[in-house]
Chains A and B, each alone.
Chain A
Amino acid sequence: MRSDPGLRAAPRPPRALPPVPSAVQDDIPLSRPKKKKPRTKSTQASASSEGLTQTAVHRPSENSEPLTKEATEHPEASVQRRQKKTRLPLELETSLTHTKTSSPSLLPNENGINTEPDEEAVIQKPRRKTKKTRPAELQYANELGIEDDDIITDEQANPEQHSMFTAPTGTSQPVSKVFVEKSRRFQAANRSQLIKTTENIDVSMDMKPSWTTRHVALSVHRAFRMIGLFSHGLLAGCAVWNIVVIYVLAGDQLSNFSNLLQQYKTLAYPFQSLLYLLLALSTISAFDRIDFAKTSVAMQNFFALDPTALASFLHFTALILSLSQQMTSDRICLYTPPSVNGSLWAAGVEKQILQPWIVVNLVVTLLVALSWLFLSYRPGMDLSEELMFSSDVAEYPEQDKGIKVCS
């Protein structure tokens, strides 16, 4: 505790000395205790760290020795002293206002014995500084690309000043927070986080064009076109099979209607349902191909006898015809011989009902088979895709090329 007054009073002497620039050698020891005295505070605060300081002792001693040499060899050092003197009062006012000013005891500084414990004490502050500040400095320097010289060289160039006053090093650090404008307000944000987030955004921006909603829409459209293509063939096949079965069951010259009804009644409704499902799918697919929603284009293609446009028309006609037979199909499904009470099939009515039904089925089959032929003539044609996404070509030239290559 004895060192306290000495330590705290130490900064004062420079005030008395300014008018003597020639006493360079006297000043040197003066300057040394200045470094050490603030550090003795730290030793008192943490007296247990004596053993730890051995390695760090070199630093202040290394720093101090060249200083003396400089001071002796280069008289320019006196200029630095002057600068120091000018700085001192300001900083002392801030940092040492509460210290008791005692007589300027320069003696302990000049004594080599007294300085040794001070040197031990000196060690701690620089070490703390390095511990606290350097990792942060390096981090910022790495992340923000600030050159090391900008921050660290100040310390190394003026070791005397930094060893004495911590404030300048503190203020020269890059501020850890930056203020970013978010929703018309400036908000504090961490630099490192901000940099990371911006990097992430860059990455995501790079990733976005690879798979957009447009690509999802296109893939779905193409998947449905594939389903449609399949259903066209299946529908044509089913329709042909159906008409063959009907004609086989009806016998020669369509004479055996009762046999047809008895055999076919279980098949009538399932086939009607399947026919509607396939016809619906095929019609939607055919409309897709000619882009039916754009009526003018669709009509133009139809009058130009475009096979795809004709096929979609044939499909739609087949659909109407098929639906119109729903009542007859239900009647066939509920078939009971005319002899049974409550039968829907009176004697002699069979031919009247069944003949048009067979004809309609035949027509449906022909239409479906024809449209399948027309569609298979140009299976790759898809006006929807061309017209729906055509104007994107200008906006997405590269992507479109890629897609076309894929397709």
Chain B
Amino acid sequence: MLQTSNYSLVLSLQFLLLSYDLFVNSFSELLRMAPVIQLVLFIIQDIATLFNIIIIFLMFFNTFVFQAGLVSLLFHKFKGTIILTAVYLVLSIALHIWVMKLRWKSSKLFIWTDGLQTLFVFQRLAAVLYCYFYKRTAVRLGDPRFYQDSLWLRQEFSQVRR
């Protein structure tokens, strides 16, 4: 059974990482006095996303559903989060590489092209969706039903099998 204190701690960490992600997405364009600053911000952002993925998977492994072998049920319930997080990480890394490549010589350059703009829009939209789905999953995993056998779990499993 998941301890309340442990869950609170993990949830705080997840929200901290999400907040950092949102902060960098919002203000990274402002904080471009030197290319190195943006580089560091982007690296930490990607690592934070990676950490969030690791944490959410560790939370999955901790559930009774996973330990009972019902991985498909878990994937079915949280496939949106898993897919979106993966997509967001890919988009983020791609955008960061592209932006840093263009801005490495001078941060004051106008680098925007249609391609970069499109990638930017998709990355930022994915960031919002990632935040929403990740937050929802983290909150949902606090449900004690995921950590014990119950009638609800059996019903869910039977629904998935259909």
Q: Is A334 an interface residue (CB 8 A)?
A: yes
Q: Which of B7, B27, B29, B152 contacts A391 (CB 8 A)?
A: B152
Q: Is the interface of A mostly helix, strand, loop or mixed?
A: helix
- B140 and A392 contacting across the interface, CB-CB below 8 Å: no
Q: Which of B8, B29, B143 contacts A389 (CB 8 A)?
A: B143
Instruction: Enumerate chain A interface residues (CB-CB to B < 8 A).
Output: 211-217, 220-221, 224, 269-270, 272-274, 276-277, 279-281, 283-284, 287-288, 292-293, 319-320, 323-324, 326-327, 330-331, 334, 344, 384, 388-389, 391-392, 395
Distance of A224 Cα from B141 Cα, bound (Å): 16
- B26 and A284 contacting across the interface, CB-CB below 8 Å: no
Distance of A379 Cα from B117 Cα, bound (Å): 35
- A280 and B121 contacting across the interface, CB-CB below 8 Å: no
Q: A280-B25, A391-B152 are in contact. Are A319 and B125 (CB under 8 A)?
A: yes
Between A and B, 27 residue pairs with Cβ closer than 8 Å are A211-B4, A213-B3, A213-B143, A214-B143, A217-B140, A217-B141, A220-B139, A270-B30, A272-B29, A273-B27, A276-B26, A280-B22, A280-B25, A280-B131, A284-B135, A288-B136, A293-B80, A293-B132, A324-B117, A324-B121, A330-B110, A331-B112, A391-B145, A391-B152, A392-B143, A395-B145, A395-B152
Q: How large is the interface on B (under 10, 10 to 19, 20 to 34, 35 or more residues)?
A: 35 or more
- A284 and B7 contacting across the interface, CB-CB below 8 Å: no
Q: Which of A213, A288, A392 contacts B132 (CB 8 A)?
A: A288
Q: How far is the CB of B87 from chain A (nearest CB, A)?
A: 16
Q: A217-B140, A273-B26, A280-B22 are in contact. Are A224 and B124 (CB under 8 A)?
A: no
Task: Kindly list the 4 A-B residue pairs having the minimum CB-CB distance in the complex, ordered from nearest.
Answer: A217-B142, A277-B26, A213-B142, A327-B112
Q: A220-B139, A273-B29, A344-B110 are in contact. Are A284 and B132 (CB under 8 A)?
A: yes
- A220 and B136 contacting across the interface, CB-CB below 8 Å: no
Q: Is B90 an interface residue (CB 8 A)?
A: no
Residues in B neighbouring A212, C-beta threshold 8 A: 4, 144
Distance of A389 Cα from B141 Cα, bound (Å): 11
8 extra interface residue pairs, beta carbon distance < 8 Å, beyond A281-B22, A323-B120: A214-B142, A216-B7, A270-B30, A280-B131, A293-B132, A293-B136, A326-B120, A327-B117
Residues in A neighbouring B108, C-beta threshold 8 A: 334
Q: How far is the CB of A270 from chain B (nearest CB, A)?
A: 6
- A323 and B124 contacting across the interface, CB-CB below 8 Å: yes
Q: Which of B110, B117, B132, B152 contacts A283 (CB 8 A)?
A: B132
Q: Is B133 an interface residue (CB 8 A)?
A: yes
Residues in B neighbouring A392, C-beta threshold 8 A: 143, 145
- A284 and B128 contacting across the interface, CB-CB below 8 Å: yes
- B29 and A330 contacting across the interface, CB-CB below 8 Å: yes
- B145 and A283 contacting across the interface, CB-CB below 8 Å: no
Q: Is B53 an interface residue (CB 8 A)?
A: no
Q: Is B93 an interface residue (CB 8 A)?
A: no
Q: How far is the CB of B23 from chain A (nearest CB, A)?
A: 8
Residues in B neighbouring A283, C-beta threshold 8 A: 128, 132
Residues in A neighbouring B120, C-beta threshold 8 A: 323, 326
Residues in B neighbouring A331, C-beta threshold 8 A: 110, 112
Residues in A neighbouring B127, C-beta threshold 8 A: 280
Q: A216-B7, A217-B142, A327-B112 are in contact. Are A292 and B2 (CB under 8 A)?
A: no
